[in-house]
Amino acid sequence: MPVAVITGASAGLGRALAGALVRREWTVLGTARGEEALRAAAEELGFTAVPGDVTDAGHRAHLKEVVGDRLDLLVNNASTLGLSPLPPLLDYPLDELETVFRTNVFAPLALTRLLLPALAAQNGTLIDISSDAAVEPYEGWGAYGSAKAALDHATAVLGVENPRLAVYAVDPGDLRTAMHQLAFPGEDISDRPLPETAVPAFLRLLDERPPSGRHRAADLLAAVRS
């Protein structure tokens, strides 16, 4: 039975991916900061909850112990938007900016480093969740977007340096999640699709295993429908 680690598994896209993999009879280890929400999701969907903050080195070490010697998939999904409402980049408090980069760049890289031996043993798959803000200069999105751009480039380098792995940065598109709501405080985002709608794009990557690179879920979904 293949094994996956999904960060940010208590809600949104991480939760949706965890549920889809469980239905495919994967062993899923899900982690997130909110223990109550994570354990509720794990009980409902059937995955193993490993609560904790991926920015914490002790929690990352614990995850490595739980994983052991085998890992087929790592999804670095946990991230933070940063401040809400979104301030201009030059007005961003530096301590908050550091938090955004620590969560969105350093934590996934540190976790990948720890779990790489187990992932490499299976010629596994690494997926880092990106954003269109990584490539488009949206006003107010400087902190989040620049962190995701850094993660994109780091992911590309990991793909080159680890040719036996399938390494993807994936932009899931605008989804109806709590974090997306924070970006638009007080606005109605009910027109955004639910996270579950993006899941087939990720399953296609796992099934077809194209060369490492950056993908948009919308493009993968269009190919599924055609």
Catalytic annotation, residues: 144
ω before 185 within 30° of 0 (cis)?
no
Q: Can you name the residues that pair with 126 across neighbouring β-strands?
A: 74, 167
Side chain identity at residue 185, one-letter code: P
CA atoms within 13 A of residue 38's CA, in its CB half-sphere: 20
Q: Can you name the residues that pair with 29 across neighbouring β-strands?
A: 5, 48
CA dist 157 and 112 (Å) reads: 13
Backbone phi, psi, residue 210, to 5°: -70, 175
Whether the CB-CB separation of 163 and 143 falls below 8 Å is answered with no
Cβ partners under 8 Å of residue 113, min gap 6: none
Cβ partners under 8 Å of residue 156, min gap 6: 167, 169, 212, 213, 214
Side chain identity at residue 226, one-letter code: S
